[in-house]
């Protein structure tokens, strides 16, 4: 909101949060600020000090937006840069040395010790900020949307997951760090606290694994005008710090991956003979292991989510390599050489080309072409201007403005070469795709199979599928008889000899 939009200014007093209205010479009628919709009153404060003005902020926003205004003729004013909002909430970014005395008694601390105290203080302050943000997400977003029936309780539980259970976990660490702080503000030992507390982070598994589904549902619900309007008003309010709801929901994951850096910084400034070094080394190994495990679990959850969103136009598009995949290397929107938008998934063993469609008010991905096994996939980095929109080769002197960032993938099927040309959004995105394809190819090469072995593997998988399928008994029996005759009753591992089948 800027001054030119309304014929008055708001002056907010920091001490008592009262409002003074200074009117300009104008015949415009202004409604009293006390007339408010129920939305603002339903947002309770988390803490009196930082969040007590949440309701007042939304109150002013809603009241002003809902009033009709008549335009008055005003003389033109010289342009001036708009001032930032006076009420925008800001973080306390003071350093340890700005908060406490760098002298211990009559002795000045060394620069190394000051840096160590700064690193420990940053860890503690980050926990405090995290707790405030988690409480804000609950009190300013979850609870009002539930009370106003903007979303159902089930939908909110899906979006927010186990976020509320993370609050006491971090309150515990913050309490321990504060207890370890001496009256002069310094902290002597912190390693043993971290070693004892870090196993609690295993509870992040369920929260992070839910984030893919939570983000998809939140994006879908934003199409509801009530949800969109509520989130937009919150975004424009000072308490949000210009962060949207997903930024708050993603804060725990961001904090999790930051712990190794924070602990290394403390270790970096800890003397070699300090008893904390052994504990810090152990804590760093612990957090790295925890983050790696959570990354694996989250990746598998993401892979399952998108596999469940695939729609097959015909049975021949189903590929057992998709079903057996546990890793989604990368995915995203690409364009083909006709300019059509496609959503491409690179699983660990197969590349899947789809079109995003709306189905039952949800986003699904309909297979556009036959899945391509990674071990059969060939890729080529195309120079700018080589591909013309429409598929033909572009001449050397033609305009290539719209033919940048292309790459091609190809494979052989039934003695025929099939290829697809994709255009990335920019050079960086293109390089990311090529890197992912290169890594997937490298991982697939050691377990490459011969065409005969591949045929047997597919037949064996088909046999297992038929045994579980609900088909007529006589038809299934014929298929199984043929497959058993070809395979000789052997297992997949016996046919492969060298590498197992996932």
Q: For 293-343, how does the pLDDT look when each residue is reduced to its tens digit (9 = 90+)?
A: 999 999 999 999 999 999 998 888 888 899 988 999 999 999 988 889 999
Maximum mean pLDDT: which of 91-100, 121-130, 463-472: 121-130
The count of domains in the chain is 4
DSSP assignment, residue 311?
E
DSSP 8-class letter at 83: P
pLDDT band at 480 (very low <50, low <70, confident <90, very high): low
Residues 330, 287 share a domain: no
373 and 480 together in one domain: no
- Say how far residue 175 (Cα) sits from the centre of its chain: 29
Residue-wise DSSP of 43-60: ---SSHHHHTTHHHHHHH
Task: Mark whether 143 and 167 lie in a shared domain.
Answer: yes
Residue 86 pLDDT level (bands cut at 50, 70, 90): very low
For residue 37, count CB atoms less than 10 angstroms from its CB and return exposed for 0-12, middle for 13-18, buried for 19 or more.
Answer: middle
Helices (H) and strands (E) in the chain, counts: 20, 13
Average pLDDT, the chain: 75
What is the residue-wise DSSP string for 389-441? Answer: TTSSBPPTTS--TTS-SEEEEEEEETTEEEEEEEE-SSHHHHHHHHHHHHHHH
The answer to the question of residue 71 being in a domain is no
Helices 225-236, 54-66: axis angle to 10 degrees equals 120
Tell me whether residue 403 is in a domain: yes
Q: Is residue 102 situated within a structural domain? A: no
Same domain? 288 vs 394? no
Q: Domain check: are 243 and 343 in the same one?
A: no
Of 275, 306, 337, which closes a domain?
306
For residue 248 the two structure tokens come to 């708050």
Q: Are residues 40 and 115 in the same domain?
A: no
Residue 100 lies in a domain: no
Reference 296, options 288, 284, 286; nearest CA is 288
Do 166 and 266 lie in one domain? The reply is yes
Q: Using 50, 70 and 90 to split pLDDT, how confident is the model at 109?
A: confident
Q: Are residues 394 and 297 in the same domain?
A: no
32, exposed or middle or buried, with CB in 10 Å at 0-12, 13-18, 19+?
Answer: exposed
Nearest Cα residue to 383 out of 372, 367, 370, 396: 396
pLDDT of residue 263: 95
Q: What percent of the chain has pLDDT over 90?
A: 46
Has residue 247 got a pLDDT over 90?
A: yes
Domain span including residue 23: 3-66
State whether 228 and 355 are in the same domain: no
* Overall average pLDDT of the 445-450 stretch: 54
CA–CA dist 348, 322 (Å, integer): 9
pLDDT digits (tens, 9 = 90+) for 349-372: 999 999 999 877 788 999 988 899
Give the model confidence (pLDDT) of 202-229 as tens digits.
999 999 999 999 999 999 999 899 999 9
The Cα 430–Cα 435 span in angstroms is 9
* Residue 331 sits in the same domain as residue 231: no
Do 468 and 417 share a domain, yes or no? no
């Amino acid at each position: 909101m800027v001054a030119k939009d309304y014929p008055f200014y708001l002056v907010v007093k920091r001490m008592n949060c009262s409002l003074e209205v200074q009117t300009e010479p104008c015949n415009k009628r202004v409604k009293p600020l006390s007339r408010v919709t129920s939305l603002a009153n339903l947002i309770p404060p988390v803490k009196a000090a930082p969040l007590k003005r949440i309701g007042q902020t939304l109150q002013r926003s809603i009241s002003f937006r809902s009033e009709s205004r008549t335009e008055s003729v005003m003389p033109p004013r010289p342009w001036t840069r708009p001032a930032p909002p006076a009420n925008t909430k800001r973080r306390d970014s003071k350093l340890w040395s700005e908060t406490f005395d760098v002298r211990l008694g009559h002795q000045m601390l060394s620069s190394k010790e000051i840096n160590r105290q700064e690193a420990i203080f940053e860890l503690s302050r980050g926990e405090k900020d995290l707790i405030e943000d988690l409480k804000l997400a609950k009190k300013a977003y979850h609870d009002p949307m539930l009370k106003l029936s903007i979303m159902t309780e089930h939908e909110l539980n899906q979006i927010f997951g186990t976020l509320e259970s993370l609050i006491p976990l971090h309150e515990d660490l913050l309490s321990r760090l504060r207890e370890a702080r001496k009256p002069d503000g310094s902290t002597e030992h912190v390693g043993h606290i971290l070693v004892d507390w870090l196993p609690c982070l295993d509870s992040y598994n369920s929260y992070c694994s839910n984030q893919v589904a939570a983000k998809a549902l939140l994006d879908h619900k934003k199409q509801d005008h009530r949800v969109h309007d509520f989130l937009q008003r919150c975004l424009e309010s000072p308490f949000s710090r210009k962060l949207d709801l997903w930024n708050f929901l993603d804060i725990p994951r961001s904090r999790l991956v930051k712990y190794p850096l924070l602990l290394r910084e403390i270790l970096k400034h800890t003397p070699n003979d300090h008893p904390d070094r052994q504990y810090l080394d152990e804590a760093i190994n612990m957090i790295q292991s925890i983050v790696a495990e959570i990354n694996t679990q989250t990746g598998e959850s993401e892979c399952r989510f998108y596999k469940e969103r695939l729609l097959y136009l015909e049975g021949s598009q189903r590929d057992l390599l998709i079903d057996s995949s546990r890793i989604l290397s990368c995915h995203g929107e690409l364009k083909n050489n006709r300019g059509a938008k496609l959503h491409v998934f690179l699983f660990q063993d197969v590349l899947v080309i789809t079109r995003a469609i709306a189905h039952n008010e949800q986003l699904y991905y309909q297979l556009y072409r036959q899945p391509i096994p990674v071990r059969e996939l060939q890729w080529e980095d195309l120079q700018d201007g080589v591909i013309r929109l429409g598929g033909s080769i572009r001449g050397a002197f033609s305009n290539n403005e719209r033919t940048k960032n292309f790459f091609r993938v190809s494979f052989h099927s039934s003695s025929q070469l099939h290829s697809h040309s994709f255009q990335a959004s920019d050079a960086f995105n293109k390089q990311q795709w090529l890197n992912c394809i290169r890594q997937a190819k490298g991982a697939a090469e050691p377990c490459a199979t011969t065409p005969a072995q591949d045929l047997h593997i597919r037949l064996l998988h088909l046999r297992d599928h038929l045994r579980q399928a609900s088909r007529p008994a006589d038809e299934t029996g014929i298929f199984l008889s043929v497959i058993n005759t070809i395979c000789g009753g052997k297992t997949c591992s016996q046919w492969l000899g060298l590498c197992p089948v996932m």
